[in-house]
Structure 1
Amino acid sequence: MNQPAQKYGETARTESRKTLVASNFEEIEAIRAIWERIQRNEPYPVPDADIDRYLSVVKASGGDTRPYVMLVEADDRAQAMIVGWIEKRQINLKLGYKTLCRPALKCLSVVYGGVLGQPEDGLCALLVSELMKQLRRPDVDMVYFNHLRTDTSFYQAVRKTPSFLTRGHFPRIEEHWIMNIPSSIDQFYQTLSAKHRSTLRRKVRMLQTKYPDEVNVVKYTQGADLEEAIKAASKVSRTTYQHALGSGLGDDSASRNVLSTAAANGWLDLSVLYVGKEPCAFQLGLRYGGRYFLQTLGFNPEWRKLSVGTVLFLRVLEDLCNDPELESFDFGFGDAPYKRRYGDRQWPEASVYIFALRPYPVFINVPRSSVEALDLGLKYVVNKMGLVRWIKRRWRQRLVRFH
C-alpha cells in the first residue's frame, strides 16, 4: 500500500488481506486517490459514494455524523471499500403512510452505492464479517445498508451471515428504474402511445395558453445562484406531501453545503418552473458520470390541475436530450407510475438491517420485522383489489392538508 494510507488503523489481517478503517477527515484524504480509482472502475458509479459528496454530507451534519470507511487490501492492492458513517438513525415503523413509532438507534450506515470493488463470495463474507464486528462497539446498535442490489453476491452475504435474532427480516424489494436519454424530445414522444403523447402535449399547451409569456423555467447550476435557487425550490417543497413526510428540499445550511459541493464539481442541475414570479414546481438532479440522477422533485398542489410538475419534467428532459455527454436518466429510489411508464430497464433493490445481539436492538428488531410483514401483506391485498393509487392519492392529499 502506498505510504499515505499507512496513517489509519488496521483492524484485521489474514495471510493475504488486511482491513483498514478511516474514521476521520485526515485519514479519508489519505486514501482519496485509492477511493477515486476504485469508484471510477465501478460499472455504475453513483454520486452518493463520491468522496467529495460524502465529505460534504458528513460535514453538513455538524458533528452528528462520524466517518467510517473500510478498505480491504491484498498484496498492497485495494480490493474493496465500504463507504459509510456512524449516526443516530430513526427506524420508521409504518403501515402504509401511517407511522406507528420512530425508535432511534446508533447506526453504522452504508451509503447508496457504497460497496465498491465489485466483491464476490469470499470477499463479501469478509466485508460483512468486519461490519458485524462493529456491532460489538457500544456506539453501534445496527448496520444499515441503503438500497443494495438484490442480484449481487454482497446482498446474499448480508442476508445469510447474521443470526435469526440479528437479521432484519422481510426486506422491502423495490425496482430501480432508469431510462436511456433519447437524442431529442421528439424521439422521446415517439416511444409513447399516441394517446399518452397527445395527453402530454395538451398539458404543455394548457399551461402556456392560460399564462402566455409567463411560464419560465430557470436552471440553476452555479454556486453563485444557490440562494435564489434554494429559496424558490424550498418554497415549493414546503407545500408538498414529501415535506409532510420529512423529506423534500430544505432551506437550511445542510442543504446549502451539499448543493454547494455539487455546484463546485459541475454536477448541480436544479430547475424551477415559475408562472410570473411564483415558483410552482422544482426538480433537483445531479449530472454525474454521464448520467442524470434525479434527487427530488415537487410541485405546489394548488397548481395540480395545470400539471406544472409534468411540464417541468418535460422541459428538463428536453434539456438533457441536448447534452451529448448524458447517456441515461436515473429515477432514484422508490416506485412510481411515471418511472415504470418512462423507464426502459430496472433492477431490484432492498434496504437491509443487521442488529447487535443486545437487548435493546433485538427488542426493536422484533416489532420492526412484524410490522414489515404485516405491511407487505396489506399491500399485497390492496394491490390485488386495485386500490393502491386511490389510497396513495387520498393519503397524500391528507398529509398536505393537515401539515
Structure 2
Amino acid sequence: MLNQANAMTQTESAATSRSANTSKVKILIARTLDEVEPLRKAWTSWGGHRDSDIDVVLMIIGSYPEAIRPHVIALYRNGEPDAILIGRLEKKRIAFRIGYLTVFRPWARTLNFVYGALRGNASSENSEILIGEVVRCLKKDEADVAFLEFVPVDSPLYEKARTVPGFLSRDSHPVSQLHELLEVPSSIDGVYHRMSSKSRGELRRKMRKLEAHPAGELRIVCYRESTEMDRMFADVERVAKNTYQRGLGAGFSDTPKVRERLGLAARKGWLRAYVEYLGDRPIAFWIGMLYGDTFFGEYLGFDVEFRQFAPGMALMMKGIEGFCTRVKGEDVKKLDFGPGHAEYKEALSTQSWREAAVYIFGPTVKGAFLRLVRMTTQSIEQLARKVLVSTAILPRLKRIWRDRLAKRSKSTPAENVPTPD
C-alpha cells in the first residue's frame, strides 16, 4: 500500500521549488486499486477519451497479464483535484519496428500512459509538473521507460514530454501521424459530397454490384448485447483471419484480451459491431464503441475475395448513414477514425490533427539501451520513408506487403497471433 503522506510531502516540496504559483500543489500517485477509487468522481466529471475511462483502465489492469498495477498521478490545488495523468505499470516486450517489420522486442518495465491520459486542467504548468513526476518515478527505478500514447503535438503535454526530461532521457525521434475525425452531418449526402465525383460514382457502382451479387441477400447486423458476443466473434473471426492486419498481429482476433474489451463495451452499452453478410456468409465487419456522442472505430476488415466490391467501405457508409438518420434515437455527433492515415479517412474526415507517441527513458543502463534502439530504428525508418516517398513507390509497396500478409494470415490461427505491443 502506498504511503500517501510521504508521497505527498516529497512531491509538494519538489513542486514548491519550481515557482510560487505551485506552492499549494500536492501530488498523489495511486498505485493500488483502492487508491484509484477515491479519484472516480473527479475522473469521470472531467470527461475525456474512451481509452482513459476509469472502467476501461481498471478492466485492463485487472485482466491483461502484462499489467502489474495502476500508476495514476493526481495533481491537487488547494486541496482539490485539478488534473490526473492516467497510466499503469506493465512488464512486457516493446516492439521496435521499421515500417511493418518488427526488428527487436526486448522486455521492459513500462509506465504506459493511455491515450487521452491527461484529464482535467491540461495547462502548461500542470503538464510540466506531471511530466516531472514521471521523470522522478523513473529516477527511483519504478520502471525502465515511460510511454505516452499518441499525444497531440500542439499540446502542452507533448511539449513538456519533449523538454522536461534530461537530454539522455528524451525521445529524440517521435514520429507524428494524422488522426482524423468526421463531424456527422444530417444527411449521408453530406458525406458522399466530400468525395470526388469519380470516387463517389465508383463506390456507388461497386455497392450496387455487391447488392446484386448472386451469393445471396446483402444485409447488415449490428451486434450490441453481451448475449450476442459468441455469434459476433465467430462470424467476425471468419473474415478477420484472412486480413493483412492478422499477418501484422494487429486488428481483430478472438483472444481473451479482445473479449474482455468488447465484453466491457457491451455491458456498458457502448458496443456497436456491424457485420455485413451475403446470404449467411460474413464478408466485412466494422466494430466500434459509442462513447458519449462519439463513435470510436476499433476494428475494420473485409473478405479479400470480395475486394472488387469494396465491402468494407460499403459497410462503413451504411453505418454512417445510420448515424446521420439517428437510428434508434442515438445522437452520434462525431466519428473518430483513430490514429493513422488511410485514404478513406482522408476522403471522409472533416477534422484532423497530428499526434505522436513519446518515450521517456529511465536514467539507467537499460533505459540508455532502449533509447539507443529507439533512435536507431526510427532513424532508419525515416530515411527509408523519405527515399520511398521521393520515388512515389511507397503506396505500391504497402499494397504488396499487405497482400503478402493477408496470404500468410490464412494459415495463422487467432490463438497464435502475437499480441500487439
Task: State the TM-score bracket (shorter-chain normalisation).
Answer: over 0.9
Q: What letter is aligned with 1:73?
A: Y
CA–CA distance in structure 1, aligned partners of residues 252 and 104 of structure 2? 24
CA contact (8 A) 1:7 1:27 kept: no
CA distance in 2, matches of 1:155, 1:35: 21
Tell me which of 149, 161, 180 is aligned to 1:146. 149
Q: How far is the alpha carbon of 1:119 from its aligned partner?
A: 2.3
2:191 equivalent among 188, 191, 212: 188
Give the C-alpha shift of residue 82 in structure 1: 0.5
Q: Which residue in 1 is equivalent to 2:126? A: 123
Matches within 5 A, 1:326-341: 326-341=332-347
Tell me what 2:383 maps to. Answer: 377
Report which stretch shifted further, 156-165 or 105-114: 156-165
Q: Is the aligned partner of 1:23 residue 2:22?
A: no
Q: What is the letter of the counterpart of residue 31 of structure 1?
A: L
Q: 1:258 aligns with which of 257, 261, 286?
A: 261
Q: 1:390 corresponds to which residue?
A: 396
Q: Where does 1:6-45 land on structure 2 (aligned, <5 Å)?
A: 10=8, 12-13=11-12, 14=16, 15-38=23-46, 40=47, 45=48
Q: Deviations over 1:374-401 (max 9, x none)?
A: 2112112211211121010000111122
- Within-5 A mapping of 1:314-329: 314-323=317-326, 325-329=331-335
Whole-Å Cα distance in 2 between the matches of residues 378 and 62 of structure 1? 35
For 1:213 and 1:247, the matched residues in 2 are separated by 30
- Could you tell me which residue of structure 2 aligns to residue 279 of structure 1? 282
1:173 aligns with 2:173: no
Q: Using the alignment, how far apart are the partners of 2:280 and 2:112 within structure 1?
A: 41
**Which 10-residue stretch deviates more, 7-16 or 374-383?**
7-16
Pairing partner for 1:345 from 351, 367, 370: 351
> How far off is 1:217 after superposition?
1.0
Aligned-partner Cα distance in 2 for 1:303–1:325: 32
**How many angstroms apart in 2 are the aligned matches of 1:179 and 1:270?**
19
User: Which piece of structure 1 moves more, 60-69 or 340-349?
Assistant: 60-69
- Contact 2:246–2:405, Cα closer than 8 Å, also in 1: no
Q: Which amino acid aligns with 1:230?
A: F
Residue aligned with 2:230, SS: helix
User: What are the superposed Cα offsets for residues 87-145 of structure 1, whole Å, 9 maximum, x if unpaired?
Assistant: 12333222222221212211000000011124222222111110111113444100000
How far is the alpha carbon of 1:62 from its aligned partner? 4.2
The answer to whether the 8 Å contact 1:8/1:22 transfers is no
Q: Deviations over 1:299-338 (max 9, x none)?
A: 1222212221111111111112122611111110111111
For 2:242 and 2:91, the matched residues in 1 are separated by 28
1:213 offset after TM fit, Å? 4.8
For the structure 1 residues 315 and 133, does the alpha-carbon distance in structure 2 shift closer, same or farther, using more than 3 Å as the test? same
User: What displacement does 1:265 show?
Assistant: 1.6
Q: Percent identity among equivalent residues?
A: 31
In structure 1, C-alpha distance between the alignment counterparts of 2:59 and 2:196, rounded to whole Å: 43
Segments of 4+ moved more than 4 angstroms: 6-9
Contact 2:171 2:361 in 1 (8 A): yes
Q: Aligned to 1:65, what secondary structure does the other structure show? A: strand
Q: Secondary structure at the match of 2:253?
A: coil
Whether the aligned pair in 1 keeps the contact of 2:175 and 2:356 (CA below 8 Å) is yes
Residue number in structure 1 paired with 2:292: 289
Task: Give the number of aligned pairs.
Answer: 393
Asked if the contact 2:242–2:407 (Cα under 8 Å) also holds between the matched residues in 1, the reply is no
Aligned to 1:235: 238
Mapped pair 1:163 → 2:166: yes
Contact 1:8 1:20 in 2 (8 A): no
- In 1, the alpha carbon distance for the partners of 2:5 and 2:269 equals 31
Residue 219 (1) aligns with residue 222 (2)? yes
Shift of 1:360: 1.8
User: Which range moves more in the overlay, 145-154 or 112-121?
Assistant: 112-121
| Shift in CA distance, 247/65, structure 1 to aligned 2, threshold 3 Å | farther
Counterpart of 1:51 in structure 2 is 54
Letter in 1 for 2:28: L
The structure 1 residue matched to 2:136, chosen from 103, 112, 133, is 133
> Which consecutive residues of structure 1, in runs of 5 or more, have no partner in the other structure?
1-5
- Structure 2 partner of 1:3: none
Letter in 1 for 2:282: P
Question: When the two structures are superposed, what TM-score results if normalisation uses the length of structure 1?
Answer: 0.93
CA distance in 1, matches of 2:140, 2:237: 39
Taking the aligned partners of 1:24 and 1:339, their CA distance within structure 2 comes to 39
State the 1:294 CA deviation. 0.8
Once residues 106 and 333 of structure 1 are traced to their aligned partners in structure 2, the CA distance between those partners, rounded to angstroms, is 25
Name the CA shift for 1:236/1:103 in 2 (closer, same or farther; >3 Å). Answer: same
Displacement of 1:348: 0.9
| Cα displacement (A) at 1:60 | 2.1
Q: Displacement of 1:61 after TM fit?
A: 0.8
What's the secondary structure of 2:167's corresponding residue? Answer: coil
Code of the aligned partner of 1:28:
V
Distance change >3 Å, CA 7–CA 216, structure 1 → 2 = farther
